[in-house]
Amino acid sequence: QLHLVQSGAEMKKPGASVKVSCKASGYTFTAYYIHWVRQAPGHGLEWMGWINPNSGATKYAQKFQGRVTMTRDTSTGTAYMELSSLRSADSTIYYCAASDASQGTLNWYDPWGQGTLVTVSS
């Protein structure tokens, strides 16, 4: 059964970077795209981008272009999302979620990781 486990909560200062991990288990890591979605209070769910664990190809939301980097380590079945130049508005919960690569990038997300709270404060 597919399962995604994310790294723990992070506290960062404005201007710093944060790197969140998402470890997959229960399936072939390269068979599912990993998407990153964040959930800010009052802003709902916001898609940030995806990574193809097989090729390493990525697609980022325009809003995060230049600030986000998604990578993966196929040897450990782990995907990473790094967000730089953090500001207080980036304080929120970040989720990874999987979608079946056989259906392309336009797909529903299942399952989701448990979420990682990132707090940006001076």
Partner 1 sequence: DIVMTQSPDSLAVSLGERATIHCKSSQSILRGSNNKNYLAWYQQKPGQPPKLLVYWASTRKSGVPDRFSGSGSGTDFTLTISSLQAEDVAVYYCHHYYNTPPTFGQGTKVEIK
Footprint of partner 1 on this chain (CB under 8 A)?
44-47, 59, 61-62, 95, 97, 105-115
Q: Which is nearer to partner 1, 29 or 109 (CB)?
A: 109
**Phi, psi at residue 4, to the nearest 5°?**
-120, 130
* Shortest Cβ 15–partner 1 spacing (Å): 26
Nearest distance, CB of residue 107 and partner 1, angstroms = 6
SS3 53: coil
Q: Which amino acid is at 93?
A: I
CA 9 to chain centroid, in Å, comes to 14
Q: Which is nearer to partner 1, 42 or 122 (CB)?
A: 42
d(CA 61, CA 89): 16
Least distance from partner 1 to the Cβ atom of residue 87, Å = 21
